[in-house]
């Protein structure tokens, strides 16, 4: 038995586990956010014996006799002040990092009632915010310090909502005080847990899937494969090119491809159940750059070819204009794939609703999710409801399906609520990135520096699937000339499939 104090109350835990798991799962203190589970992001920050500490690191056995405070344990005055100041300063966007910021702020202000901006920066050095740029969070904390010092009352402001009025986000206070839910904060009666077995190889044929051992595990409710998908297995917002689950005989397109879903009664057994699913593969050669994918004899990743999209924009006569230019400059530019690094890893919960499903999502495209889940389950759209909870950052990285369809499929088949949550590592592996691009630009101007012509080629790596590769390439091409008045352009772009993450 491990005895400690949480928010002023003595609690006893029978089992040794990480403090974050105990606070979130056992005590349901969901202000403690799980952003990474490995001490990197600060979203889980709590105060332990007066010191801001990441709750995902220490185990209960190291905390016997200690006192833990979470946002739920703030006094009413503290809740009023932090809620008001974070909202007023515009410090809250997706909000996922904010309860952790508040705890770091409290640890600072409890010991230093008049901190400098540098003190605030130092206090927040363990807390990452992906949305705000930090300046407004600093402003909020300095404002809170002044309210506490002056013992000033929180003003009641009546907002009219008129244009130009400085009114806060409607959800700023509830996000600051964690009084409303992101999907992972929800627990439903009888809820089960789902997790996907990912491909061992970026490109391989699935020869067989044997779930016998996994199904014999006492905590496993079901193992789901492509053969169980009642509708169309292939999804994709704009181009249908992604298997919900790669079928036997199918070919994987990247390491994030899902082969099977295990559904268990408790989340603690998901990994050991997954390890019992036996998959035989025939490893196939993969391609990892657009150039290799376009080379003669490259493996064909999709029947229609490896080039997803070709854009060619022409105006005037570029060759003539460059030939007559006084100065010509050629330069190659490359941008890498960019991870969006939103703070909330993807989570969805689905549950049966009549003869359809209800899905709680943190995604960016609820209607696309509805349409694709309906198609995958073989249901009319009206049998699928998708309810958006708070979205803990997305920046484009949560436009595609990641967990929603897997949760929906599992819930539909087992007829119980199922939560599917990605770990941070899985999230980075699975979801689309901003496309890497190689760009060759040639620009010509006259003796006065007047721009005459732009010739460029753009090659974009759309990775395993189309995702938004087509529109993003089109955007790159139509914006390649920037705001300049080029009368002669020749812009040629290609988005190319590879076996990289989409
Ligand atoms: Fe604990 Fe990220 S630091 S969840
Ligand atoms: Fe900080 Fe979104 S508001 S991560």
C-alpha angle 257/259/263, rounded to 5°? 120
pLDDT tens for each residue of 442-463: 999 999 999 999 999 999 999 9
pLDDT tens for each residue of 472-493: 999 999 999 999 999 999 999 9
Mutate to test the pocket of ligand 2, among 97, 137, 391, 424 (most ligand atoms within 8 A of CB): 97
Can you tell me the mean pLDDT for 26-54?
98
Burial class (CB in 10 A: 0-12, 13-18, 19+), 11: middle
- pLDDT at residue 19, as a whole number: 98
Place of tokens 């051992």: 213
**Distance from the alpha carbon of residue 135 to the mean position of ligand 2, in angstroms:** 12
Residue 96 Cβ inside 6 Å of ligand 2? The answer reads yes
463 by DSSP, 3-state: which?
Answer: strand
Beta bridge partners of 149: none
Can you tell me the mean pLDDT for 85-93?
97
Measure Cα distances from 149 to 143, 144, 154 in Å: 10, 9, 13
For all residues of the chain together, what is the average pLDDT? 97
Q: Strands 307-315 and 418-421, how do they pair? A: unpaired
List all residues 6 or more positions away from 66 whose beta carbon is below 8 Å from its beta carbon.
4, 5, 48, 49
pLDDT tens for each residue of 231-255: 999 999 999 999 999 999 999 999 9
> Which ligand 1 atom minimizes the distance to the CA of 56?
1
**Distance from the alpha carbon of residue 396 to the mean position of ligand 2, in angstroms:** 15
pLDDT tens for each residue of 382-432: 999 999 999 999 999 999 999 999 999 999 999 999 999 999 999 999 999
Q: How far apart are CA 368 and CA 222, in angstroms?
A: 27
112 by DSSP, 3-state: which?
Answer: coil
Question: Is the distance from CB of 392 to CB of 366 less than 8 angstroms?
Answer: no
Residue nearest to atom 1 of ligand 2 (CA): 129
450 by DSSP, 3-state: which?
Answer: coil
Residue 264 Cβ inside 6 Å of ligand 2? The answer reads no
Beta bridge partners of 234: 243
Q: Output 294-299 pairs: Cβ under 8 A, ≥24 positions apart.
A: 294/459, 294/494, 294/496, 299/203
**Distance from the alpha carbon of residue 44 to the mean position of ligand 1, in angstroms:** 5
- For the cut 90, the answer to whether the pLDDT of residue 168 exceeds it is no
> Which ligand 1 atom minimizes the distance to the CA of 54?
1
Percent of the chain at pLDDT > 70 equals 100
SS3 content of the chain, % helix, strand, coil (to 5): 30, 25, 45
**Distance from the alpha carbon of residue 430 to the mean position of ligand 2, in angstroms:** 21
Question: Is the distance from CB of 17 to CB of 78 less than 8 angstroms?
Answer: no
Q: How far apart are CA 376 and CA 63, in angstroms?
A: 47
The gap from C-alpha 227 to its chain's centroid, in whole angstroms, comes to: 28
Residue nearest to atom 3 of ligand 1 (CA): 39
Which strands sit side by side in the sheet containing 9-13, from one edge to the other?
Answer: 9-13, 2-6, 67-69, 45-48, 51-54
Question: Is the distance from CB of 280 to CB of 238 less than 8 angstroms?
Answer: no
Written as six digits, the tokens of 179 are 């009084």
- pLDDT at residue 158, as a whole number: 84
Written as six digits, the tokens of 258 are 């899902």
Residue 32 Cβ inside 6 Å of ligand 1? The answer reads no
Measure Cα distances from 263 to 77, 138, 273, 377 in Å: 44, 43, 9, 17
* H or E segment and range at residue 385: strand 384-388
pLDDT tens for each residue of 260-303: 999 999 999 999 999 999 999 999 999 999 999 999 999 999 99
> Which ligand 1 atom minimizes the distance to the CA of 44?
1
- For the cut 90, the answer to whether the pLDDT of residue 306 exceeds it is yes
- pLDDT at residue 159, as a whole number: 84
List all residues 6 or more positions away from 422 whose beta carbon is below 8 Å from its beta carbon.
345, 346, 347, 402, 403, 430
- pLDDT at residue 473, as a whole number: 97
Written as six digits, the tokens of 1 are 């038995």
List all residues 6 or more positions away from 183 whose beta carbon is below 8 Å from its beta carbon.
347, 348, 349, 360, 361, 362, 389, 419
**Distance from the alpha carbon of residue 493 to the mean position of ligand 1, in angstroms:** 40
Mutate to test the pocket of ligand 2, among 31, 44, 126, 132 (most ligand atoms within 8 A of CB): 132
**Distance from the alpha carbon of residue 131 to the mean position of ligand 2, in angstroms:** 4
**Distance from the alpha carbon of residue 478 to the mean position of ligand 2, in angstroms:** 31
- For the cut 90, the answer to whether the pLDDT of residue 167 exceeds it is no
Ligand number with the minimum distance to the CA of 46: 1
Question: Is the distance from CB of 244 to CB of 287 less than 8 angstroms?
Answer: no
- pLDDT at residue 365, as a whole number: 92
Burial class (CB in 10 A: 0-12, 13-18, 19+), 31: buried
Mutate to test the pocket of ligand 1, among 30, 54, 343 (most ligand atoms within 8 A of CB): 54
- pLDDT at residue 166, as a whole number: 84
Ligand number with the minimum distance to the CA of 21: 1
HSE-up of residue 205 (Cα within 13 Å, Cβ side): 4
Residue nearest to atom 2 of ligand 2 (CA): 94
**Distance from the alpha carbon of residue 59 to the mean position of ligand 1, in angstroms:** 14
The gap from C-alpha 153 to its chain's centroid, in whole angstroms, comes to: 38
Can you tell me the mean pLDDT for 227-234?
98
Comparing CA positions, the residue from 93, 111, 104, 98 lying closest to residue 148 is: 111
**Distance from the alpha carbon of residue 126 to the mean position of ligand 1, in angstroms:** 9
Residue 392 Cβ inside 6 Å of ligand 1? The answer reads no
Q: What pTM did the predictor assign?
A: 0.95
**Distance from the alpha carbon of residue 268 to the mean position of ligand 2, in angstroms:** 28
- pLDDT at residue 471, as a whole number: 96
Question: Is the distance from CB of 113 to CB of 145 less than 8 angstroms?
Answer: yes
Measure Cα distances from 443 to 234, 330, 333, 435, 491 in Å: 43, 7, 13, 24, 12
- For the cut 90, the answer to whether the pLDDT of residue 105 exceeds it is yes
Residue 41 Cβ inside 6 Å of ligand 1? The answer reads yes
Measure Cα distances from 394 to 130, 331, 359, 473 in Å: 10, 33, 18, 20
**Distance from the alpha carbon of residue 39 to the mean position of ligand 1, in angstroms:** 4
Mutate to test the pocket of ligand 1, among 19, 30, 38 (most ligand atoms within 8 A of CB): 38
- For the cut 90, the answer to whether the pLDDT of residue 83 exceeds it is yes
> Which ligand 1 atom minimizes the distance to the CA of 37?
4
**Distance from the alpha carbon of residue 137 to the mean position of ligand 2, in angstroms:** 10
Q: How far apart are CA 299 and CA 309, in angstroms?
A: 18
C-alpha angle 88/91/93, rounded to 5°? 115
Ligand number with the minimum distance to the CA of 18: 1
- pLDDT at residue 157, as a whole number: 82
Residue 139 Cβ inside 6 Å of ligand 1? The answer reads no
- For the cut 90, the answer to whether the pLDDT of residue 54 exceeds it is yes
């Amino acid at each position: 038995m491990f005895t400690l104090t949480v928010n002023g109350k003595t609690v006893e835990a029978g089992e040794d586990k990480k403090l974050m798991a105990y606070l979130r799962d056992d005590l349901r203190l969901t202000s403690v956010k799980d952003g990474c589970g490995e001490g990197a992001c600060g979203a889980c920050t709590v105060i332990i014996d007066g010191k801001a500490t990441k709750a995902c690191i220490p185990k209960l056995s190291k905390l016997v006799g200690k006192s833990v405070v979470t946002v739920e344990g703030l006094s009413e005055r503290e809740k009023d002040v932090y809620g008001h100041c974070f909202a007023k300063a515009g410090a809250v966007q997706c909000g996922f990092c904010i309860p952790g910021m508040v705890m770091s702020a409290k640890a600072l202000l409890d010991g230093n009632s008049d901190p400098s901006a540098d003190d605030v920066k130092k206090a927040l050095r363990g807390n990452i915010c992906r949305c705000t740029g930090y300046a407004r969070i600093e402003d909020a904390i300095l404002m809170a310090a002044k309210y506490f010092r002056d013992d000033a009352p929180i003003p009641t402001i009546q907002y009219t909502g008129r244009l130009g009025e400085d009114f806060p986000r409607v959800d700023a206070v509830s996000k600051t005080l964690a009084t409303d839910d992101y999907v992972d904060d929800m627990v439903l009666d009888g809820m089960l847990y789902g997790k996907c077995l990912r491909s061992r190889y970026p490109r391989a044929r699935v020869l067989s899937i044997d779930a016998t051992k996994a199904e014999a595990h006492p905590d496993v409710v079901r193992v789901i494969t492509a053969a169980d998908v009642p509708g169309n297995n292939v999804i994709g917002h704009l181009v249908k090119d992604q298997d919900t689950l790669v079928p036997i005989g199918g070919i994987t397109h990247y390491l994030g491809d899902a082969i099977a879903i295990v559904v268990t009664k408790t989340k603690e057994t998901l990994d050991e159940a997954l390890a019992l699913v036996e998959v035989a593969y025939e490893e196939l050669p993969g391609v990892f750059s657009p150039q290799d994918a376009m080379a003669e004899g490259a493996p064909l990743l999709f029947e229609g070819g490896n080039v997803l999209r070709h854009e060619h924009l022409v105006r005037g006569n570029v060759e003539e204009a460059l030939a007559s230019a006084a100065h010509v400059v050629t330069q190659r530019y490359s941008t890498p794939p960019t991870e969006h690094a939103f703070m909330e890893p993807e989570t969805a919960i689905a549950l049966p609703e009549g003869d359809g499903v209800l899905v709680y999502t943190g995604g960016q495209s609820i209607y696309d999710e509805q349409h694709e889940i309906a198609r995958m389950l073989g249901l009319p759209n009206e049998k699928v409801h998708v309810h958006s909870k708070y979205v803990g950052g997305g920046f484009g990285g949560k436009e595609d399906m990641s967990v929603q369809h897997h949760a929906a499929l599992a819930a539909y088949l087992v007829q119980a609520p199922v939560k599917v949550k990605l770990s941070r590592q899985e999230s980075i592996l699975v979801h689309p990135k901003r496309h890497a691009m190689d760009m060759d630009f040639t620009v010509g101007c006259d003796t006065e520096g007047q721009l005459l012509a732009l010739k460029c080629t753009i090659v974009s790596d759309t990775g395993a699937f189309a995702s938004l590769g087509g529109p993003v390439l089109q955007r790159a091409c139509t914006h390649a000339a920037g705001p300049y008045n080029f009368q002669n352009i020749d812009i040629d772009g290609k988005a190319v499939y590879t076996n990289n993450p989409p």
